[in-house]
Structure 1
Amino acid sequence: MEQQVISATLPMLILGLGWTGQFLAELMVSLQLNYAATTRDGRNNTIQWSLPSACQDIDVSALPLAKTVLVTFPVMQPECMTTLIDAYQKKHDTQPQWILLSSTRPFDGNPANRHTPLDRSKDTGRIPAEDIIVERGGSVLHLSGLWGGQRQPKGWVPRFPSKEAIKNKLLARQLHLIHGKDVARSILAVHEHYKPGRWIVTDNGCYDWIKLFLVWGNAEQIAIARDLAANDATCHDALGDGSLEDIVNRGGVKPRLDSTEFWETFGLEPTEFLKIE
């Protein structure tokens, strides 16, 4: 049986139906919006496709026409981003809305918003391709602390067993998060009310790593944290007197990353927030 050719323009093509894409697909189905998506192996009725490491091998023949093309994975070669955009737009003789997902790692200002200059020394290889997207009128969504489903912050606490790792969290207490459901809503909002450029997307608040350790840490982690707060000069100067519980109750942990402009621009509010209990 021959595969049917979809001639109409789809609302969205999701390149890489990974963790984020699954939340987006669920939202689009609930809103009765059509989409196409790719995976490396073509599972679950997706299009088998991946971005090759050799840019000249990029093949867009299987990619359908869509109003918005979402790239969910990091593109480590800027020339591949250029080739992908050019090939897709030549195939369909159109200029879609390009959205690329990224992280907030290069935004190390305190505070930092979407206009804060990137610290390119923190780049893991993503930024040059992001620059291409922005130069071509695309949108880059910098997501901070992806969680939801199987990805739970409670499971992150054991990753910091050492004294040095715990000290770093006591000194930089902010944990910025965005739930997969809100990521999906954010992507759809950009699709519907498109505006180019770089955007920071968090839940507009932050969480206190000390509270995470107190509630979800093991006895050894908590003991290390208490010792640091009481006896390490740098930690004591930063945190002040009192127990860890006193320090948490005093509050004062304010978001370092400011995503206010994103939510105001697209007329949304985040809906999913972490409960530390």
Structure 2
Amino acid sequence: MLSSCFPAHLVTTALSSLLSSASTSTSTLTSSPMQLQDGASSVDLLVLGLGWTGSFLLPHIRTHHKDLSVAATTRDGRDGTLKWAWDSEQDGKDQYEALPRAKTVVVVFPLRGEGYSRRLVEGYEEAVGQRVRWIQLGSTGIFDGGPTLASLRASSTDDDTNEKPVSPPEFEWTTRHSPYDRKNARAIAEDELLSLHADTVVLNLVGLWGGSRNPINWFTRIAPTPEALEAKGSLHLLHGLDLARAIIAVHLAPSLPTCSSADVEKGTGQRWIVSDLRVLDWWDLASAHPTGPSAPPPAASAAGERSPDRALWVQDLMRKHGVRALPRTPQELGRAIDAREFWDAFGLMPVRGRWEEARA
């Protein structure tokens, strides 16, 4: 169930600009130089640690939000970015003096542990002399049902081998209000960021794809054997273009959405889960794409047709577990993420779902 959170009151021009990004244009990569305000003293958006995210964010801004000024940092200063690396142990404002004043700062690199978010936010805001909006890109791995808590449960089970196994818990959708591992280093840093002031946002992201990131290429690492594939359940994805749209939506909101939930402290920031609103099944993907993105299917012979090994693994698993059809249901998968709140709050919908049809 969705919580009673109130959307930001987006101004008409900003909202129409955001919605225009759902148009037919799907180009995200460009060979032209990135138009960054590397020498500006003041910008709308400052991106710390550009990387893969920039290959979608910058073209999207250039195409749909030409009035926005942006600066970004990389360790080597490539492609017109600012050469800058954060010293996580240095207090004060000195290391931020070289950065422009921004209305919104996007932190792409992960912050881990206590004290780091405070050091970054307070140091930068002291350097520029004003409070700014902060967007930290995080991961849904901290949430209940994710790999972080799964590993904790496994270790605790190993320690209690004499205890009678308990029945699996009743299925629940994972939302931004679900339990998460508060001892996780990234979660600690995110919680600290959100505690600093209300103009802070954490976007907990699912699997990112697009450009150089193709989920089909993940099989050799994720499911190299039948046993590994058997353990795989759901997959949630977000295209780089929709990540860019989410970042811009948060930046353009005149005021950030608030929540009336009693467990949300007033004056703190908000945590959001962002996905393309789909729940994928690893078995389904392995069956539909058993040979990889470019390998041909097995050659037929006089003895008959052949099927790729990975497809046969799925067949065996379906028989073993009594699965009648693919994809499996969220209940069968055991974990499913509900990311509706973010899109509802900001008046948007993702435009690059159905990843197999949108790979081009």
**Which residue is equivalent to 2:182?**
120
Is 1:223 the counterpart of 2:223? The answer is: no
**Which residue is equivalent to 2:30?**
none
219-228 or 110-119, which deviates more: 219-228
Q: Given the alignment, which residue of 184, 202, 227 partners 2:244?
A: 184
197-206 or 216-225, which deviates more: 216-225
Distance 1:230 1:99 in 2: 46
Aligned-pair CA distance for 1:53:
4.3
Distance 2:51 2:38 in 1: 25
1:166–1:221 contact (8 Å) kept in structure 2: no
Is 1:37 the counterpart of 2:57? The answer is: no
**Which residue is equivalent to 1:6?**
40
Q: Given the alignment, which residue of 154, 158, 161 partners 2:224?
A: 161
Distance 1:132 1:6 in 2: 30
Distance 2:102 2:338 in 1: 31
Q: Given the alignment, which residue of 329, 332, 351 partners 1:252?
A: 329
Structure 1 counterpart SS, 2:80:
coil
1:212–1:276 contact (8 Å) kept in structure 2: no
Identify the structure with the greater helix proportion: 1
1:182–1:271 contact (8 Å) kept in structure 2: yes
Evaluate the alpha carbon distance shift between residue 5 and residue 227 of structure 1 in structure 2; reply closer, same or farther with a 3 A threshold. closer
Is 1:21 the counterpart of 2:54? The answer is: yes
1:72–1:101 contact (8 Å) kept in structure 2: yes
TM-score (norm 2): 0.67
Aligned-pair CA distance for 1:117:
2.2
Distance 1:190 1:119 in 2: 25
Distance 1:210 1:276 in 2: 15
Cα distance per residue 1:115-163 (max 9 Å; x no partner): 1121336x3x211111111001310000101001110111112221122
Evaluate the alpha carbon distance shift between residue 201 and residue 17 of structure 1 in structure 2; reply closer, same or farther with a 3 A threshold. same
Distance 2:38 2:215 in 1: 43
Q: Which amino acid aligns with 2:69?
A: N
Q: Given the alignment, which residue of 75, 83, 86 partners 2:122?
A: 86
Q: Which amino acid aligns with 1:34?
A: S
Evaluate the alpha carbon distance shift between residue 22 and residue 275 of structure 1 in structure 2; reply closer, same or farther with a 3 A threshold. closer
Cα distance per residue 1:214-255 (max 9 Å; x no partner): 121242222222223223xxx33xx2xx4xxxx117x63477
Is 1:265 the counterpart of 2:345? The answer is: yes
Distance 1:275 1:27 in 2: 19
- Structure 1 gap ranges (5+): none
**Which residue is equivalent to 2:168?**
none
Q: Given the alignment, which residue of 104, 107, 122 partners 2:143?
A: 107
1:211–1:276 contact (8 Å) kept in structure 2: no
Higher relative contact order (CA 8 A, sep 6+): 2
Structure 2 counterpart SS, 1:120:
coil
**Which residue is equivalent to 2:272?**
199
Identity %: 39
Distance 1:220 1:62 in 2: 55
1:176–1:205 contact (8 Å) kept in structure 2: yes
1:157–1:212 contact (8 Å) kept in structure 2: no
Q: Which amino acid aligns with 2:71?
A: A
Cα distance per residue 1:40-85 (max 9 Å; x no partner): 0011111111122433487111111000000001012432221111
Distance 2:116 2:355 in 1: 41
Q: Which amino acid aligns with 1:270?
A: P
Aligned-pair CA distance for 1:264:
0.5
Q: Which amino acid aligns with 1:252?
A: T
Is 1:131 the counterpart of 2:165? The answer is: no
Q: Which amino acid aligns with 2:311?
A: I
Cα distance per residue 1:2-55 (max 9 Å; x no partner): x99534x31100001111122111111122121000000011111111122433
Evaluate the alpha carbon distance shift between residue 53 and residue 91 of structure 1 in structure 2; reply closer, same or farther with a 3 A threshold. closer
TM-score (norm 1): 0.85
91-100 or 76-85, which deviates more: 76-85
154-163 or 252-261, which deviates more: 252-261
Q: How does 1:67-78 map to 2 (within 5 A)?
A: 67-78=103-114
State the structure with more CA Rg.
Answer: 2
Is 1:146 the counterpart of 2:236? The answer is: no
Evaluate the alpha carbon distance shift between residue 217 and residue 5 of structure 1 in structure 2; reply closer, same or farther with a 3 A threshold. closer
